[in-house]
Amino acid sequence: MYTHTLLLLLLLPLLKPGVCESCSLVVSPAGLVVKYGAPASANCTSDTVTSMGWEASQGKDFSMGVKERTWRVDSLTDWKIKPQCYEISEVGGQCARALDVTMYKLPDRVYIRYLSHSDPMVEGHQYSLHCVVQNIAPIKHLTVTFYKVSTSGEQTVLYTQQLNNDIREPVNESFSLQFSPTSVDGGAQLCCSAMLDLGPEGPQPPPVMESECLNTTVHFAPEFSCSAKQQVGEGEGLTCDVRGNPLPSVTWLRDGQVLTPPTHLRREDAGNYTLIALNRIGKANHTVEVEVLPGPAARGASCQAAGSAAVAVLLLQLIRWLY
């Protein structure tokens, strides 16, 4: 018996999966997704009583006169493990079935950073953002997403990236994004996330690790947000909104002369006004055509005239009724 067993063990290195067309071995489950250091197991069954076992760097097993063997490991740590169930018949037939094992590890850390830059950013310039994922496996199942969170809390995806890499062991990987801010990005946060999607056999939902976010300050040239034509009443002021970062200085001109923004307009103040806004990022000009409408006194006179006409009509109707 000892000699028979020893002979079978000597034949193990010669086994190749699928060499027997009538191989009845069934491995269940066909594949495993296992977290690094976690236990793992799978069953292998045969239609007939046979000599069978498992060949693997962890959990090696062999027995004679059985129809089922279980591969079991208390703590899976071999990243390159490829378990194989085999059987050897007494007449020399042999076959084997492989168990597909995917081992994974969640990242130790995910963080986002600028490359050779510190705040503030300038509108229209381009900046390199890097999302670093440390000590993760397997890298081919990793999806990295760059996203922006506005001051109102709205989240916008900027870029999503994956790698076509078959390395099984944990690696450190850096993903990059070229980002060009606009004025509306001021105060927003820039973030990244790392999702490990191992399919339906993996953890559900797929685990996601978020980075801490970068707060952004965006400097931009002045921008006007007032209409090119304005109607104001007599006695009212003239205003025009302008934004910029840093806060711009604004100069008002009429007929080439600098003036203080008018606060009590008269009819003769109608015309074109030019505004010049300036900060260290740039300069902007804006021309406003102003129409001054009759003020409260003039409108009151118009209302009075309309009231007198109505009274005259009523008197005329009364006279006709009396006569």
Q: Could you tell me if residue 92 is left (phi over 0), alpha (psi between -120 and 50 degrees) or otherwise beta?
A: left
Global pTM reads 0.76
Would you state the pLDDT for residue 262?
82
Would you state the pLDDT for residue 84?
95
Would you state the pLDDT for residue 146?
98
Pairwise CA distance, residues 157 & 148, whole Å: 6
For every one of its 323 residues, what pLDDT tens digit does the chain have, with 9 covering 90 and above?
A: 434 344 444 444 444 444 445 688 999 999 999 999 999 999 999 988 888 999 999 999 898 889 999 999 999 999 999 999 999 876 556 889 999 999 999 999 999 999 877 779 999 999 999 999 999 999 999 999 999 999 999 999 999 999 888 899 999 999 999 999 999 999 999 999 999 999 999 999 999 999 999 999 999 999 998 899 999 999 898 888 999 999 999 999 998 899 988 888 999 999 999 999 999 999 999 999 999 998 653 333 222 223 333 333 333 343 344 44
Pairwise CA distance, residues 224 & 143, whole Å: 41
- Our separate counts of H helices and E strands in the chain read 2, 23
Pairwise CA distance, residues 270 & 289, whole Å: 8
Q: Which domains does the chain have, with CATH numbers?
A: 2-103 (2.60.40.10), 109-216 (2.60.40.10), 221-296 (2.60.40.10)
Strand partners, 101: 32
Would you state the pLDDT for residue 7?
40
Would you state the pLDDT for residue 294?
86
Pairwise CA distance, residues 187 & 216, whole Å: 5
Would you state the pLDDT for residue 2?
39
Pairwise CA distance, residues 183 & 223, whole Å: 9
Would you state the pLDDT for residue 92?
55
